[in-house]
Amino acid sequence: MSIASSKNASSKEDLAMLEFLPPSRPLLLGQVMDPRIGVFTFEWEALTSALDPAKALQSILDAQKYEQASDKPIRVIFTKMFRRPASHEIYDTLATKFGISHQFFREHVDGVSISWSRFLFKKREPREHHWGWHSMSMTANFNPSKTQFIIFVDAETESLRKAFVDEVGKSISDIMCDPFRAHLVLARLSFEIANQTVWDLRDCVCEIEARRQIGLVKSVDYHHMHDLARHIIHGNEMLDAAIETIQQMRDEHAASIATEVVSGEAQIIREQTTKLLRYREELLKRLRLRSHALNKRLSNEINLALNLVAQETGKATLADAAQMKTISLVTLIFLPATTVSTIFGMNFFDFDSSSNSFFVSQHFWVFWIFAIPMTAGFIALWYWLNGWGFDIIPEHIRYITGMLRWPRRRSDAQAGPTISEIGGGFWGKDS
């Protein structure tokens, strides 16, 4: 969004589209001349808001005939071709094809004031969860010697074109006294669209908040929430750029007032324009505050949803832990008896019922010779694989296991320190 006089790099595609325009023919009011380039023209008498249909029927493809046929001081021309301020070459080609004075597109022309402004905004489309970018740009040419004011507007929808024409028709006398009133028309329409966009975003956030209040947190669409956050960020960017545009308008308007001395009604209108520009700027700032508040509200809902999900996960984990405690308790109850029954069920024991005697094999020690070392070995292997708890192992056993780990330690030293060594010592747990 900007207001300035600018020369951008030329677009070969745009020039090619202009070169293949159809032959000259009359253009009716509101008629689309070509499906690729929509053009509309409207004219007014000075100090009146009444459109003249007869003059609106004139051709705009022949420069000489168009200039001779039209003596109206206010003329509005719409096109929906450009999505950015066009280059000098495109302006010249457009002026030749459409019969618009070349002075309209020039920056440095004595006695002629040229300015342009552009507002970009995001609107909610009829499709669910779909948003699209839209823009309105305007180039204005004011020549006091001819009392002629031409407005070249890029509006994407018929409703925007109609609204712009209606607003210009209500401000004919004001625009003739102060050309910046035309930019104010565009600023007001853009504010209405931005305001509607912010309220649409607010409705989406309220829907999310309402789902939380009725207990539908588990059915939250996180992708939709993050897309909505992206749209709100775009809305904040849109409002910041619009505020800068209005501020530039105020600066340019103040500069134009300083270089041109007027009095009477024109002076009053220009003072009103200054106040209206400040008013539009304040409205946009207030709207930006609401948009920032929406961003915080949505962030709060996203964080709350994530925390609630984490809480549900924690509850499920606690339930699993309670079940594991039950299993562990049952194991502790039956494990001693199971161990005893297993030992006495071996062939190392014999019970003679006839003599009521109990015999233990003299080779019972073989069981312990194998069982104890294997148990200790598996425990040591588990600690060794996990790298935990070697400080609780007796020093002489730790020395033996350290010798077993020596080849690995030497290879680690050759390759550099490991993550566990950096994190908290060689025996520390990997994090």
Please state the domain extents for the chain: 2-311, 358-424
Asked whether residue 354 carries a pLDDT value surpassing 70, the answer given is yes
End-to-end, the C-alpha distance of the chain in Å comes to 50
CA angle 251/254/257 to nearest 5° reads 150
Q: Give the burial class of 284: count Cβ atoms within 10 A of its Cβ; 0-12 exposed, 13-18 middle, 19 or more buried.
A: buried
Res. 68: pLDDT tops 50: no
Give the model's pLDDT for residue 399: 59
Which tokens is 257 given?
């007032």
Q: What is the pLDDT of residue 103?
A: 52
Residue 80: its pLDDT value, please? 47
pLDDT the model gives residue 210: 82
The pLDDT value given to residue 8: 33
Query: Is residue 47 very low, low, confident or very high in pLDDT (cuts 50, 70, 90)?
Result: very low
**What's the confidence (pLDDT) of residue 430?**
35
Q: What are phi and psi of 59, to 5 degrees?
A: -75, 145
Could you report the per-residue pLDDT of 228-249, keeping only the tens digit for each?
888 888 888 889 988 998 898 8
pLDDT, tens digit, for every residue of 136-157?
777 776 766 665 666 767 666 6
Most confident of 2-6, 319-323, 392-396: 319-323
The whole-model pTM stands at 0.56
DSSP letter at 214 equals: T
pLDDT band at 289 (very low <50, low <70, confident <90, very high): very high
